[in-house]
Chains A and B, each alone.
Chain A
Amino acid sequence: MKAPRFSRAVFLGEWRLLWRDPAAWVVLGVLTAALLGALWQGLAREQAVASSLAELAQADADRMEAAADLAQWLADTEGGISRFRDPRSADVVGRRLGVQHLALPPTALSALAVGQSDLYPAWHPVSLESRDRLQAEGELTHPRQLAVGRFDLSFVVVFVAPLLLLGLLASVPARERETGMLPWVVVQGGGLGSWLLGRVLLRWLLVLLPTLLCGVLAVLLQAMALAAAGDGQTVVRGLLWAAQVTGYLAFWAALALWVGTLPLDGARSALALAFAWLLFVVLIPAVTQVVLDLAHPQPSRMAYVDAMRDATDLARAEGSEALVRYLEDHPELAGDAVDADDFFAQRLLVQERVEAELAPLSAAFEAQRAARARQAAWLRLTSPALLTMDGLADAAGTGEPRHRHFMAQVHGFHSEWRAFFAPRVLSGERFLDHDRVPGFGYEQEPLRLLMPRSSWLLTATAGFTVLFGWLALRRWRSLPKVLGHV
C-alpha cells in the first residue's frame, strides 16, 4: 500500500461525520469547560499576584518617603529618637526602613501555566539582612495545593486533552471494521491510509484548535490586565507555547495512528491507548522521580541550618576582633562615631563572616542541586508529558530558569545594596542619602536563553512524534490486511 495522501474529499466527508457524532460534542464540551475553568483560575491568580506586587512597591515607596521626611525633620529640629529607629542611621534604613521588595513581574502568558510560581515567591525583600534570608521567605500557599498541583491550562493540556483525544481515537479504525463500514470507506476512493489519516487529523484539530484559541484568549486578557503586551517577548513566548501544545497533541495523534494500524479489536485498542497515556503521563514521570531521588538525593536543609548556626556562633565570638581587623584594613572608614562595640557595625561584620563561612556549604548545596537538575533534564527525555510540562511553564515565564535568572539579579542587587550601605554603617556617620539609595530594575530574561531551551524541548517532543509516525508508516503496507479488508 502506498503512503497516505491528504484527500480533501475524505477530509470533508469525515468532517460531516464528526459534526453528527455525539461523542465529538461531548469531548468538545468537556474540553471547553476545562479550558475555561483553567483560564478563569489562571487570570484570577495572576491578578492577585499583580495586585500584591503593586501593593508591595507602593508600601516600599511610602516607607522610604516617610523615613526621608522624618530624617529631615530630625536634622532640622535636632529631635531625639531611639538609635534603633533613627532614619538617619544607615543600618536602620538599610535593614528595615528602606527594605525593597524586588518583584518578578508576571508575563502576558503567566495565566497559562502556574509552573513553579506557586512554590517560588514572585518577590524577595532585599535589605542588609543576610543573603540566606532571601531564599527562606516565600508566599503562603496551602501545602496540599502545592502537592496536588494547580488546575491550570498546562494541566488541561498535559493530562486532560490527550485523554479526550484518545477517547475520540480509541476505536479508530477498529469500530469501522467491527461494524462492517470499511468496505464503504474503500469504495468512496482515496484509500484506507488517507481515510485513517484524515480521521486522526480531524480529531486532532478538534482538540487542538479550542486549546490554542483559549491560549490566545488568555494572553489577550492577561496582556490587557497587565499592559504587558509591549515587552517584546509576548509574541515569541506565545508562539513557543502554541508550538509546545501542537507538538504534544501531535505526539498523541501519532501514537493513536500507530495503535490504529495494529491488529487489535476495539476494546484492546482502547486499552492500549489508555495504558500508553498512563505510561507517559503518570508512570514514567513518577519513576523518573524515584530514580532521581535514589541517584541524587536531595540536599538537607536541616544540615544546612545546623552548619549555619555553628558558623554564626564562630563569627559572633570573633565579632569584636573582626571589627578591629576590618578597620585596620579600612582606616578611612574609622570615623569618630565608631568604636569597637558599635552594635550595627559589629552585626554587619558578623553577618559577612557568617556568609564567608557558609560560602563553601552553600556552594556544595548548590552543586548538589545542580547535579540533580542536570540529571532531571536528561530524564525528561523519557516522556513527552515531562518535556511539555516544562516547555509550557518555560514559555509562560513561570518555570525554574526564569526564576533562576531573577534570583541572580536579586543577588546582584543585594550586593549592590550592601556595597552602598556597609561603608556608611561602618563609618557611623549620619545617613541623609535617602534619595541616593540604589533602585532595582528587572531585566527580562533574554530570548537567546529561552529559545535554545524551548527548541530542545520541542525537538525532543517532535522526536517522539516522528518515532510513532514512522512506526505507523512502517505498518501502512499491511494496513488493508490488518483492517480485514483483504
Chain B
Amino acid sequence: MIRRLLVKELTELRRDGRVLGSLAILLLLALGAGFSAWQQARVQHAAWHAASDGEHERWLGQEAKHPHSAAHYGVYAFRPPGPLAAFDPGLEPYLPVTVWMEAHRQNEALYRPAADTGAAGRFAALTPAAIFGALLPLLVLLLAAPLISGERERGTLRQLLAQGVPPQRIVVGKGLALAVLLVALLLPPWLLVCAVLLIGGADGDVLLRWTLLAVMGVLFLGGVALLCLLVSACCRQTRTALLLLLGIWATGTLLAPRVVMEWAEIRHPTPSALEFRQAIDAGLADGRLRDERIEARAESLLRQHGVDDLADLPVNFDAVRLQEGEEHGNRVFDAVFGRLHDGYLAQERWLQGAGWVAPFLAFTALSSGLAGSDLLHYRHFVDSAEAHRRMIQRAMNDAIYSQPETDGERFMAAPELWATIPPFEYQPLAIGDVMRFYGVGWAALLAWFVIPLLALLRVSRRLAP
C-alpha cells in the first residue's frame, strides 16, 4: 500500500513542471555558489600557504642579533580557512586573517576580508550552506504544503479514506515521497564531495566533519519536511498552509538571526575598542606583582650564587626581567582577551539556544562549527597563536638568560637560535570539543525533528477529510 502511495506521489511530483523548474533553479544556484566558494577557499589556501611559508623563511633568515631584537621582529600568524569553509564560509569574511606575534604584547588580530569587499558583500551570501539552510527549506515547503491540504481541497482525501486507506499510511507515503526526492537531490553531491575529499587526501577529522554535517542536514531538513507536512495536515486550504509556512520561514530565516543577535549583545555586551584597550593598558600599568616577583627572583639568585650584585651573577638578569614582564602581560591578556572571547562565545550560545525556537539558527551555528568557520575555531586560532608567541618569548629570554653580558659587550645570538623555533602550524580544533560546544544546537535540531514527527503521527491518526 505504502509503495503504491509512494509511486503515485513521486509520479505527481515528476509531472509537476513547477517542481522540476524549482529544482533546476536551485541546482544552478548551488553550482554557482559551490564553484565560487570552492574557488575562494582555494585562493585563500594558496595565499595562506605562501604567506605562512614566507613568514617562517623570514624568521629563519634573520642575521645575528640580540634575541630580544628577534622577539620584537616577531612573526605573523595567518589563519587558514576552515577545513570545510568551501561548504560553509560561515564567519570567515568577518574574522581577521592575521595576528602579529611580538614581544611584550598580545596584539589584536587584523584585516577582516569583509572590509575589502564593499557594501554589496553585506547584503546576502549565496553559499552551499545558505542554499541548504535557507533555500532548500523553501523548496520543501512549496512541495510539502499542498501534499495533504491539496488532497483535502480537491476532495481526493475523502475518497482515499472512504476506500479504507489508513490515514497514517497516506501521511507516511507522502513523507516518504518527499524524503526520496530530497535524498535523490542531495546524496549525489554529498558523495561527490566525499570522493573529492578522499582524492584530495583529506584526513579522518575532515571526513568525520563532513559526515556529521550530513547527519545534521538530515535532522534539519527532515524536521522542516515534517513540520511542513504537519501544517499541511492541519490546514483546510493549501493557501493557508503556504502562507503560514512562508511566514515561519521568513521569520526564522531572515528576522530571527538579527533579533537574536541584538538580544544576545544586550545580554552579553561587547566592550568598545576603547574600553578594551584601556583595560589592557590599565592592567599593564599595574606592575606591582611583577616587581615583587622580580625582586624575589633577584634575592633568590643572589643567595643561590653567593654574590651581592646582580652584575656578578653568572646569568643575565635582564632575561628574568623580560620574562617576568611577559608573565605579567600574559596575565593581563588572558583576563582581557578572555573576557572578550567569553562574551563572544556566550552570544554564540544564545544563538544556539534560540535554535529551540527557530531551527535555522541551530543549523547556521552548527554548520559553521563543523565547517571550522565559526568563532570557536577563531578563538582556538587566536589562543594557538598566543601560545606560539609565548613560546618564542620564553625561548628568546632563555637564550639571553644563559649569556651574562659581564664584559659589557652585547650578546648577539647566532642564526641557529632562530631555527629552534618551529613554524606556526595551526591545527583545527578537535571535533570532540566542537561537539561539546554545540550540544545545545544538536539537541534543538533533534527536538525539531522528533516533536513534529510525534505531532504528525498523532494528527495523522485523526486526519480530517
Q: Which A positions have Cβ atoms within 8 angstroms of B? A: 37, 41, 48, 52, 55-56, 59, 115-116, 119-121, 135-151, 155, 159-160, 163, 170, 266-267, 270-271, 274, 278, 282-283, 285-290, 292-294, 297-306, 309-310, 313, 365, 369, 372-373, 376, 379-380, 385-386, 389-390, 393, 399-400
Contact = CB atoms under 8 A, between A and B. Distances in A.
Contact of A379 (B44, B47, B120): B120
Counting chain B CB atoms within 10 Å of each CB, which of A137, A143, A159 scores highest?
Answer: A143
A287 B29 contact: yes
Interface stretch (B122-130, B163-171, B214-222, B441-449): B122-130
Contact of A138 (B36, B93, B112, B113): B112
Name the 7 nearest CB pairs between A and B, nearest first: A286-B126, A143-B94, A267-B239, A376-B120, A301-B111, A148-B257, A286-B124
A119 B112 contact: yes
Given A116-B122, A147-B93, A289-B124, A301 B257 contact: no
Interface string B86-113: 0000110111011000000000101111
A278 B138 contact: yes
Interface in B16-66: 29, 32-33, 35-36, 39-40, 43-44, 47-48, 50-51, 54-55, 58
A310 B54 contact: yes
Nearest to A301: B111
Contact of B271 (A140, A149, A294, A390): A140
Contacts of A283: 29
Counting chain B CB atoms within 10 Å of each CB, which of A55, A135, A142, A380 scores highest?
Answer: A142
Nearest to B347: A142
A302 B95 contact: no
Contacts, number: 200
Given A151-B258, A302-B97, A142 B118 contact: no
B47 A302 contact: yes
B98 A309 contact: no
Given A115-B119, A301-B97, 16 more contacts: A52-B272, A116-B122, A142-B344, A145-B265, A148-B258, A149-B258, A170-B243, A266-B239, A285-B120, A286-B126, A300-B47, A302-B51, A302-B78, A303-B47, A313-B58, A376-B119
Contacts of B29: 283, 286-287
Contacts of A390: 119
B440 to A, nearest CB: 15
A140 B116 contact: no
B261 A148 contact: yes
Contacts of A119: 112, 114-115, 122
Interface residues of B, number: 75
Main secondary structure of the interface of A (DSSP, over half): helix
Nearest to B91: A143
A163 B250 contact: yes
A267 B146 CA distance: 11
Nearest to B35: A294
A221 to B, nearest CB: 19
B258 A144 contact: no
A222 B126 CA distance: 35
B378 A271 contact: no
B272 A140 contact: yes
Contacts of B207: none
Contact of A149 (B35, B122, B270): B122
Contacts of B259: 37, 151
Contacts of B193: none
Contacts of B399: none
Nearest to A299: B116
A90 to B, nearest CB: 22
A148 B257 CA distance: 6
A292 B118 CA distance: 11
